[in-house]
Amino acid sequence: MIKMFDSLFVTMLGLGKIKLIPGTFGSLATVIILFFLFHVLNISSGVILICISIIFIYSFPAIKNHTKDSKNKDPGEIIIDEFIGQSIPIYLYEISHGIEKTKEEAIIFYGICFVLFRFFDIAKPFPVSFFDKNFKNSFGVIMDDVCAGFYVVLSLICFMVLSSYFI
C-alpha cells in the first residue's frame, strides 16, 4: 500500500508516466496548481509553504521507496522533483514585494518561470549537473531541480537589477 502511494506521489498521480516529456508536464501541472491555489482559491502563502515543505520532506523517502528495486535511481516518471523546483520561483514571486498581484501579471510571470525552469533543468549548469551526476539517489533527484529553481530566481533578480539601470 505504501509503495503504491509513493508511486502515485512521485509521479504526481501518474502524470509522470506520460512517455513524452514527463518533466515538462510535471512543471506545467505545478504552474497550474500553484496559480489555482494562489489566485483562484486565495490560499494563504503560509499554508502553501507548509504544503510545499511537507512535499519536499516526504519526497526523499518516497523516491527512495519508488526506486528501491530498480537500477535506475532517477527514472523520468519521477516528476515530484519538478514540482518542488518549479515551486521555488513561483512561491518567492508570490510573497515578494508585499503587493497584490493581478491574475494577468501572475500568468505572465508563471510562464516566464516555467520556461526558465525547463531551460535550467534541461541545460543543467553547475551545480545542477553536479547533483544530477554525483548523487544517484533521492537527494540528487531532488536537489538538481531545487538548484534549477534557484537559478530561475537568480536570473530574475539579475534581470530586475539590470533593467533598473536602463529603464
- Asked if omega into 127 is within 30° of 0 (cis), the reply is yes
**Where do the H-state alpha helices sit in 67-102?**
80-95
Residue ranges of the chain whose pLDDT lies below 50: none
pTM of the model: 0.92
Instruction: Quote the CA–CA distance of 4 and 134 in Å, as a whole number.
Output: 28
Q: Is the dihedral of CA 77, 82, 84, 139 positive or negative?
A: positive
User: Can you give the pLDDT at residue 110?
Assistant: 97
- 71 DSSP assignment: S
| Number of DSSP helices (H) and strands (E) in the chain, helices first | 7, 0
User: Can you give the pLDDT at residue 72?
Assistant: 78
Domain map (residue ranges) of the chain:
2-166
User: Can you give the pLDDT at residue 165?
Assistant: 83
User: Can you give the pLDDT at residue 98?
Assistant: 67
User: Can you give the pLDDT at residue 70?
Assistant: 81
